[in-house]
Structure 1
Amino acid sequence: MNHGSLINDLAIVLICAASVSLIFQRIKLPVFLGYLVSGFLISPNLWEESPIHDLATVNELSELGVVFLMFYIGLEFDLRRLRRVMGPAVLAVTLQTVVLLFLGAQIAPLLGWTPVQGIFLGSLLAISSSMVTVAVLRDLGRLDKPHAQLAVGVLILEDILAVTLLVVLSGVAVSGAVSFFAVGKITFFIAVFVVVTYYVGKLAAPHFLNILNRVGSIELITLSVVALMLGVSVIAMELQFSEALGAFLAGSILSQTPLAHRIENATEPLRNIFCAVFFVAIGMLIEPHLLLTNWELILGLSVLVVLIKTITVWVGFFLAGQNPDTSFRAAVAKAQIGEFSFIIAAMGQKTGVTGDGLVAVAVGVSLLSTLMALGLTVESDVIYKKVSTRMPRGLVTLGRFYRNFYDDVHQHIGRNYFLKLAKRPALQILFTFLLLNGIILLAYMISRYISTHDNFASTRIWAVPVTWWAAALLCLPGISSILRNLNVMIMLLTDALFSNSVERQYFHGRLRNIMNAFLLAVLIVLLGGLYLSVTAQYLPGGLALVGFFVLIVVAGVIFWKRIVNIQSRLELLFMESFNKRAETEEPQRRQKTLEEIKRQYPWPVSIRDVLVKANAAACGKRISDLDLRRQTRASIIALGRAGQVQYDPGPGTVIFPLDHLYLFGSEEETRLATELLQSERSEPAEANGTPTFTIETIYLDRDSEIADKTLAGSNLRKVYGVTVLGIQRGQKRITGPLPDEILRPGDVLYVIGNSEGIRRFQEHHHAASESLEIAPTAG
């Protein structure tokens, strides 16, 4: 490579990408399509002498685009948000993936392709574009709508699916065949690697973030985070996994942490640059004659992709109990393919499994399907109304019957005592089981390394047993967790089986304990024997194996209480890593609000945050009723409520308990205003124009207009002046619901507001209510 050629190539790539992307942004097309076109314009397939001197080096740099993109997706990963839409999203993704993989397998023979090429084709058609979908929904102002929440949930699962597909397809590319046993085995190893890395990372993350927080320098934060990202990616590659999986895990470890936004802002410029280089490199692989040769295939696949994704995702959401209207809008929003499709196509070409035509097909289908999905998303309301009015009456009746049947079954399952209580221990058993397998596999790799390298010839006789004995000690807390949770599930099962009062009369006390102990012993023998038979090839032999099991049994019996205590502490540390952000969010929000106000009002005055108490005289009054400025000369310049801040609230804004009022004025003026706002109510509100303040429970039926809408999208506070304090959903209680919480038919809302606003809300939404508490100007 000539001196300066890399700088020359990188300059040409970025200049062309920036120029073409500006045009695409002006005509409101996705920017990544502009990158593809710019790559095509400078590719050696278009010019006899390409301006790019070293295409191989540009391709190497482009792999950093995949790493940064996956790190960003991991950084945005929110397990709590995914959990809210997990059921519908899983069903929708499963239907969509199965149908499109089947489509790829059926089309491949017609094109003269091998079955492996058909798998690559189906895989790249199955993954939608997170970039395009989120950008379109944001531009249309629909990110707070229920269908956007569903679409984002599916996209998160598709990102996880895409990472899994990359690892599986890399194995398929090497072997040249598909083995379901091999796919199951590698999927299990992926799960073990993900759980171990995530668990260890979450335990270490608080210490890592504390160091970064003390450093404070944005340069060192960027350097440390990129080092972590690349380090985990290298570990994944060493274990024969994809670097994309490692980058995703590094991002997910740092997600939902106090420094997540700073990390995202620090790495965003690098991500944008290398993602642009990646898409430009993909564009360089496009051959014009392949696009022209395959135009019929590209057009046909584009139409099929849009139709199949819309129908399968729509049906999946509906079968999971979602509103048909919401399901349709969510389905059309993601009916396209995008960035992961290019990664899969490029991997197939790089490994020689697929030809050059697959990249051209991926680019062509991405362009056409994106344009189709964009048009469908913009006109989704009109299209749904036309489709729904022309739907056969019998199908509509069947849909209503299924929806009622689903609601009944869902409520019955939700009330099931055993399923409700057994869910948590079952998940803990699965999580801990994968952790234990990670420890065993790590010990296996270390002992194998010691046994096969001559450097350890003299120490091999004792190093291998010590490795396995150390692994046994590390396994003890996990084994105690599994045994305790198995015991809990057995107790729940026997309690459910012998729930009859007559049966309980005979089955209690010592008899019940003996029965539970017997069942636990049977499970340990059966499951333990099955596990040992499957994992025999990974376990040691001779003295190491004997010592491994003897140490587990002896230490478990002697130090059982201490082991349980260690496991409890580890679980507490792991959960604290999730709660860390929740603990710091409110103080950070308040500090950010004060800083923003000081930035907007740079005067030598006082800005004071006042918390309105429940018994304050200001509760239930409008800002104009307080007459605060005339009495004290202080002004209310912001209002904080339910985690959100409203700057410059209007005079008609009603003050509720626990509101944060931000006062502007001199020290004396804000002090007087604070005393006035915090003065206690001496007598009930008279009929002087001040609205009566009430809390009521409101039941949402299926005909309510806000059913299946998000809390923010329902605009209850803006339209009616009422605030939702909590939601009762079956046995579940949601206190202080977030703005993106979706309101469901059958929910009981605890709302607070003036009587007139609640009355209008009931009339407009056909909602039945019952007064919970009536206290004039109180909460």
Structure 2
Amino acid sequence: MIHLPHLITDLTLILASAGVTLLIFKKLKQPVVLGYLITGLLIGPNFTLFPTVTEIDSIKIWAEIGVIFLLFSLGLEFSFKKLIKVGGSASITAITEVISMLAIGYITGLVMGWNQMDSIFLGGILSISSTTIIIRAFEELGVKNKKFASLVFGVLIVEDLVAILLLVLLSTLAVSQQFAGDQMLISVLKLVFFLSIWFLGGIFLIPTLLKKAKRLMNEEMLLVISLALCLLMVSLATVAGFSPALGAFVMGAILAETTSAEKIEHLVKPVKDLFGAIFFVSVGMLIDPIVLVEYWAPVLIITAVTIVGKTLSSGLGALLSGETLKHSLQTGMSLAQIGEFSFIIATLGLSLNVTSEFLYPIAVAVSALTTFTTPYFINLAEPTYNFIYKLLPENAQNALLRYSSGSQNVSETNNWKEFLKIYLSTIITNSIIIAGILFTVKYLTPKIKEHFILNNFEQLAIIILAFALMSPFLWALSAKKIQGTAYKQLWFDTKYNRGPLISLEVLRILLSVLFIGALIGQFFSVTIAIIAAILISLISFIIFSNRLQSFYGKLESRFLNNLNAREIKEAAQRMDELMPWDAHLASFTVNPESEAVGKTLIELSLREKFGINVAVIERGTKKIKIPGKEEYIYPYDRIAVVGTDEQLKNFEQFITSIPVDNAETNGSNSEISLQKITVNASSPLLGKTIKGSKIREKAMALIVGIERNNQRILNPESSFQFEKGDILWVAGEKKLIHSVVNEL
């Protein structure tokens, strides 16, 4: 008789039960995560009315794989550049919420009589909201495109990174069993160092690998290679002392910057869904109904603390960041739940044997309850705001309005700030790479010495090889010119700036010498290391400076191309959509002898004469978006304009300047692009005129073209009225345009 392994029968039971439960929950319009948890409870060892999974240990291994692919998928949606773009509001809101809920959770645990470690982990469990649940709720309720939703998505991006940091800190705390500030700081620095090394190395190597193999790669190969890279980073993270989840997340974030990101995300989704289902079902299997009955009071208390605490802390953070009371309250009530990261943190406590057994089922029960309440709280947010706003005295209403308006004013960037930004990025980036090479030498040398006895010549060979790897980055650290006009303006502005500027240049040189000394000091005495470092620095940079500059330039160019490849591809696709018009963004530098110099835009009548629209004027560090008709043109202004090839050619002859590459690939104008907006039956633009929509005044944007009934209308009049089915092409900042349209 053929015997079927228990693992197969267990998986059959899990997937069949999950399928039936999901059909029921889909019919009831409830989140699928809740269905998975209930499935796990019903087929788990603590519930005997239904068939039960037999090999729970094997299922736990599959569940760990599920966590890996879940974090890998979150990384694919994350992108480090998205984190930079979320802005201050999302960052302030997320940090306020996380810190507040860590403290609230810890205090709640202590008040209920729990031990310190359970209370700390409870704070971690309550601090992170659920990306999966919120996105699904937004889609079902049709609020995904509202302004507060973009703030919530930004908060979730920041929280993803904070959650990874929490996993590292809680692991460190669990192992040491005490709160040691210096140890925590070392853990954070170690995390930042390895994240930077992996990100820099990954962006440099992986997109290039995918490009080279593109012709040979079909969907099957891309899936296999992506999963292999994910598991490779998981292994590296584990060796470095981090959780496997961190490695999966980092590799996802690296692949998110490639041109194949969407395709990889599409291919990985079925794998993520399969193993994710097993993970969430395994979470439900650990729920003990007896424990829940025994701890029903803590479950209800913690649920109330989660809803109230997250609503208030998130809302307060959004309010402090300059958001309106309405958007702040909507944000807070949307984030009032816990989810997948909470399960992972609770699992971490169990696996390290530092938390009590009751904490895990309590966390799952709280997650289930808050998942159920999330859609209702999102719907109740606006009525709650209306009720609260009516209760506020008029002085308080005016004060909130002034604060939110004042907080959103953009301050001018001074030259020192601009210079230090470039200076520090150069120092930090190259220092991290050099430190990574030094760490590799320090790690590998003892391994080599275990098998070989190294004499002085062999040690010297290791130093030369390591120095050769470090040399391009040492050159950039000490000798690369700080680009931009800020440095020159600071130097010539006043003689008092020259002392600090020279000091900063000397600091760069000393830092590079210190790194060389650290390399040599691993094999020889400190005195020899110092003398050799100085001599090697002088000789190398005198003889090989030009070669190092050229080589570093190639490395930097490849890295930046890989980093921006996805945006360049998306920009090209947007331009392809406009090919019948041949309308695109281009930049020109105003020649000092041009007849345009000293005149206003209304005097020049550029739109009437050439058919082009001025999108941006750059003047030094100042950027004027969608300039007014009274704006003057000055020598060396950089003007970004929208027009067809023929129109831009005529304008070029008039402005007598040298055209720069398409503005979409130009870093300084990357915020301005052509956006496509469709006027449908529910659009707030329907029936309005261009002038009546006030898109120019509120969004600082220009409607440069309209498609109607397969006809294209360039530079429409301000009295043009929008109809259903119109396609608008708008030049401006994407986020601001959609924000204004949604508020109309």
TM > 0.5 between the two? Answer: yes
Q: Which amino acid aligns with 2:539?
A: V
Q: Which residues of 2 match residues 663-674 of structure 1 at below 5 A?
A: none
User: Which position in structure 2 is the counterpart of 1:777?
Assistant: none
Q: Which residues of 2 match residues 86-105 of structure 1 at below 5 A?
A: 86-105=87-106
Deviates more, 1:512-521 or 1:560-569: 512-521
User: Which position in structure 1 is the counterpart of 2:548?
Assistant: 563
1:581 pairs with 2:551: no
Query: Aligned-residue CA RMSD in angstroms?
Result: 4.0
User: Which position in structure 2 is the counterpart of 1:431?
Assistant: 429
Q: What is the CA–CA distance in structure 2 between the aligned matches of 1:50 and 1:465, rounded to whole Å?
A: 67
1:443 pairs with 2:413: no
Q: Which amino acid aligns with 1:119?
A: I
1:194-242 superposed Cα distances (whole Å, 9 cap, x missing partner)? 1111111111223222244212422111111111111111111111111
Structure 1 552/298 Cα, relative in aligned 2: closer, same or farther at 3 Å?
Answer: farther
Could you tell me the percent identity over the aligned residues? 26
Contact 2:472 / 2:549 at 8 angstroms: preserved in 1? yes
Q: Which residues of 2 match residues 248-647 of structure 1 at below 5 A?
A: 248-407=249-408, 410-411=409-410, 413-451=411-449, 453=450, 455=451, 457-459=452-454, 463-483=458-478, 499=493, 504=494, 507=495, 516-518=501-503, 520-521=505-506, 539=522, 541-542=524-525, 545=529, 550-585=535-570, 610-611=580-581
Contact 1:487 / 1:516 at 8 angstroms: preserved in 2? no
Q: What is the CA–CA distance in structure 2 between the aligned matches of 1:279 and 1:159, rounded to whole Å?
A: 19
User: Which position in structure 2 is the counterpart of 1:63?
Assistant: 64
Q: Which amino acid aligns with 1:177?
A: Q
Q: What is the CA–CA distance in structure 2 between the aligned matches of 1:117 and 1:235, rounded to whole Å?
A: 30
User: Which position in structure 2 is the counterpart of 1:35?
Assistant: 36
User: Which position in structure 1 is the counterpart of 2:727?
Assistant: none
Q: Which amino acid aligns with 1:483?
A: S
Contact 1:426 / 1:485 at 8 angstroms: preserved in 2? no
Q: What is the CA–CA distance in structure 1 between the aligned matches of 2:335 and 2:169, rounded to whole Å?
A: 24
Contact 2:105 / 2:120 at 8 angstroms: preserved in 1? yes
User: Which position in structure 1 is the counterpart of 2:143?
Assistant: 142
Q: What is the CA–CA distance in structure 2 between the aligned matches of 1:734 and 1:418, rounded to whole Å?
A: 30
Structure 1 612/518 Cα, relative in aligned 2: closer, same or farther at 3 Å?
Answer: closer
SS at match of 1:483: helix
1:379-398 superposed Cα distances (whole Å, 9 cap, x missing partner)? 22222111211124443343
Q: What is the CA–CA distance in structure 2 between the aligned matches of 1:588 and 1:473, rounded to whole Å?
A: 41
User: Which position in structure 2 is the counterpart of 1:601?
Assistant: none
C-alpha displacement of 1:472: 2.8
Q: What is the CA–CA distance in structure 2 between the aligned matches of 1:118 and 1:463, rounded to whole Å?
A: 54
Structure 1 163/514 Cα, relative in aligned 2: closer, same or farther at 3 Å?
Answer: closer
C-alpha displacement of 1:26: 1.7
Contact 2:101 / 2:313 at 8 angstroms: preserved in 1? no
C-alpha displacement of 1:423: 2.5
Structure 1 498/315 Cα, relative in aligned 2: closer, same or farther at 3 Å?
Answer: farther
Contact 1:441 / 1:538 at 8 angstroms: preserved in 2? no
User: Which position in structure 1 is the counterpart of 2:717?
Assistant: 754
Q: What is the CA–CA distance in structure 2 between the aligned matches of 1:330 and 1:160, rounded to whole Å?
A: 19
Q: What is the CA–CA distance in structure 2 between the aligned matches of 1:76 and 1:380, rounded to whole Å?
A: 27
1:539-588 superposed Cα distances (whole Å, 9 cap, x missing partner)? 55439956666544532343223323322222221111133223333665
Q: What is the CA–CA distance in structure 1 between the aligned matches of 2:555 and 2:694, rounded to whole Å?
A: 34
Contact 1:472 / 1:549 at 8 angstroms: preserved in 2? no
Q: What is the CA–CA distance in structure 2 between the aligned matches of 1:563 and 1:727, rounded to whole Å?
A: 48
Q: What is the CA–CA distance in structure 2 between the aligned matches of 1:537 and 1:301, rounded to whole Å?
A: 56
Structure 1 385/238 Cα, relative in aligned 2: closer, same or farther at 3 Å?
Answer: same
C-alpha displacement of 1:316: 1.6
Q: What is the CA–CA distance in structure 2 between the aligned matches of 1:755 and 1:46, rounded to whole Å?
A: 69
Q: Which amino acid aligns with 1:329?
A: Q
Structure 1 465/157 Cα, relative in aligned 2: closer, same or farther at 3 Å?
Answer: farther
Q: Which amino acid aligns with 2:474?
A: I
1:486-530 superposed Cα distances (whole Å, 9 cap, x missing partner)? 9679x958965984xxxx4xx39xxx76774345336765x7899
Q: What is the CA–CA distance in structure 2 between the aligned matches of 1:418 and 1:372, rounded to whole Å?
A: 49
Q: Which residues of 2 match residues 700-719 of structure 1 at below 5 A?
A: 715=683, 718-719=686-687
Q: What is the CA–CA distance in structure 2 between the aligned matches of 1:465 and 1:35, rounded to whole Å?
A: 60
Q: What is the CA–CA distance in structure 2 between the aligned matches of 1:321 and 1:460, rounded to whole Å?
A: 64
User: Which position in structure 1 is the counterpart of 2:78?
Assistant: 77
Q: What is the CA–CA distance in structure 2 between the aligned matches of 1:117 and 1:493, rounded to whole Å?
A: 53
Q: What is the CA–CA distance in structure 1 between the aligned matches of 2:385 and 2:515, rounded to whole Å?
A: 51
Q: Which amino acid aligns with 1:542?
A: S
C-alpha displacement of 1:113: 2.8
SS at match of 2:412: helix
User: Which position in structure 2 is the counterpart of 1:639?
Assistant: none
User: Which position in structure 2 is the counterpart of 1:632?
Assistant: none
Q: What is the CA–CA distance in structure 2 between the aligned matches of 1:402 and 1:486, rounded to whole Å?
A: 41
Q: Which residues of 2 match residues 168-247 of structure 1 at below 5 A?
A: 168-247=169-248
SS at match of 1:47: coil
Contact 2:72 / 2:251 at 8 angstroms: preserved in 1? yes
Contact 2:325 / 2:385 at 8 angstroms: preserved in 1? no
SS at match of 1:309: helix
Structure 1 261/555 Cα, relative in aligned 2: closer, same or farther at 3 Å?
Answer: same
SS at match of 1:754: coil
1:95-120 superposed Cα distances (whole Å, 9 cap, x missing partner)? 11111111222223333433222221
User: Which position in structure 2 is the counterpart of 1:747?
Assistant: none
Q: What is the CA–CA distance in structure 1 between the aligned matches of 2:320 and 2:138, rounded to whole Å?
A: 24
Contact 2:67 / 2:279 at 8 angstroms: preserved in 1? yes
Contact 2:516 / 2:533 at 8 angstroms: preserved in 1? no
C-alpha displacement of 1:433: 2.8
Q: Which amino acid aligns with 1:422?
A: L
Structure 1 40/209 Cα, relative in aligned 2: closer, same or farther at 3 Å?
Answer: same
User: Which position in structure 2 is the counterpart of 1:598?
Assistant: none
1:397-442 superposed Cα distances (whole Å, 9 cap, x missing partner)? 43234335434xx43x324333244333333333333223222222
1:316-335 superposed Cα distances (whole Å, 9 cap, x missing partner)? 22222223322322222222
Q: What is the CA–CA distance in structure 1 between the aligned matches of 2:247 and 2:357, rounded to whole Å?
A: 28
TM (norm. structure 2) is 0.75
Q: What is the CA–CA distance in structure 1 between the aligned matches of 2:702 and 2:45, rounded to whole Å?
A: 60
TM (norm. structure 1) is 0.72
Q: Which residues of 2 match residues 758-777 of structure 1 at below 5 A?
A: none
SS at match of 1:379: helix
Q: Which amino acid aligns with 1:169?
A: L
Contact 1:124 / 1:337 at 8 angstroms: preserved in 2? yes
Structure 1 486/345 Cα, relative in aligned 2: closer, same or farther at 3 Å?
Answer: farther
SS at match of 2:101: helix
Q: Which residues of 2 match residues 666-745 of structure 1 at below 5 A?
A: 715=683, 718-720=686-688, 722=690
Structure 1 496/460 Cα, relative in aligned 2: closer, same or farther at 3 Å?
Answer: same
Deviates more, 1:435-444 or 1:35-44: 435-444
C-alpha displacement of 1:149: 1.1
Q: What is the CA–CA distance in structure 2 between the aligned matches of 1:711 and 1:87, rounded to whole Å?
A: 27
Q: What is the CA–CA distance in structure 2 between the aligned matches of 1:484 and 1:366, rounded to whole Å?
A: 54
C-alpha displacement of 1:297: 1.4
Structure 1 719/235 Cα, relative in aligned 2: closer, same or farther at 3 Å?
Answer: farther
Aligned residues: 626
